[in-house]
């Protein structure tokens, strides 16, 4: 069996072990803040919000997060589940319009053993994908290529979801 090491992933996981102010959950901190641009909060709904991933796998990597702090999938209410799915659908449309990806990865890592960097507050990833978007840079140079400016894409998605 071959092993593929991803040392850049540990930087991502470590970044979420403590929020900028040193205590609390980073998602809860972002949700409670009134400065959406600073926290890269793209949109807010009634039960959840959309936030850009600060350490994206690809350009446009975003997450849909319930406001309520829970790490348990089965604890999501019907209302939360519906709004999460509605936001994911809106994000597919917004990202198709702004970035023209060939496909998407959409999902959630439930629990630390499943790969969740933040396992105490459930969140759902949407990662735009393009044919040929994987390359050797992360493995050989510890560098991930992100093709779009995060701030510009944040503004595009925010404007698109506000419609």
DSSP track, 139-153: HHHS-----S-HHHH
Asked whether the beta carbons of 29 and 121 are under 8 A apart, the reply is no
Q: What is the DSSP letter of 59?
A: T
Catalytic residue from among 39, 121, 123, 125: 123
- How far from 63 is each of 6, 54, 55, 68, 77, CA to CA, in Å? 21, 10, 11, 15, 18
Q: Look up 121 and say whether it is catalytic.
A: no
Catalytic residues: 123
């Amino acid at each position: 069996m071959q092993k593929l090491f991803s040392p850049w992933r540990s930087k991502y996981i470590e970044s979420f072990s403590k929020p900028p102010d040193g205590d609390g959950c980073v998602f809860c901190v972002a949700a409670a803040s009134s400065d959406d641009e600073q926290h890269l909060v793209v949109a807010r709904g009634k039960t959840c919000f959309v936030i850009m991933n600060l350490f994206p796998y690809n350009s446009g990597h975003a997450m849909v997060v319930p406001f309520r702090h829970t790490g348990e999938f089965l604890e999501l209410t019907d209302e939360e589940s519906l709004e999460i799915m509605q936001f994911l659908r809106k994000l597919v449309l917004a990202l198709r319009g702004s970035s023209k990806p060939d496909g998407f990865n959409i999902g959630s890592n439930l629990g630390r053993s499943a790969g969740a960097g933040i396992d105490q507050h459930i969140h759902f990833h949407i990662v735009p994908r393009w044919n040929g978007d994987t390359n050797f840079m992360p493995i050989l140079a510890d560098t991930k290529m992100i093709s779009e400016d995060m701030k510009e894409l944040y503004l595009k998605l925010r404007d698109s979801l506000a419609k």
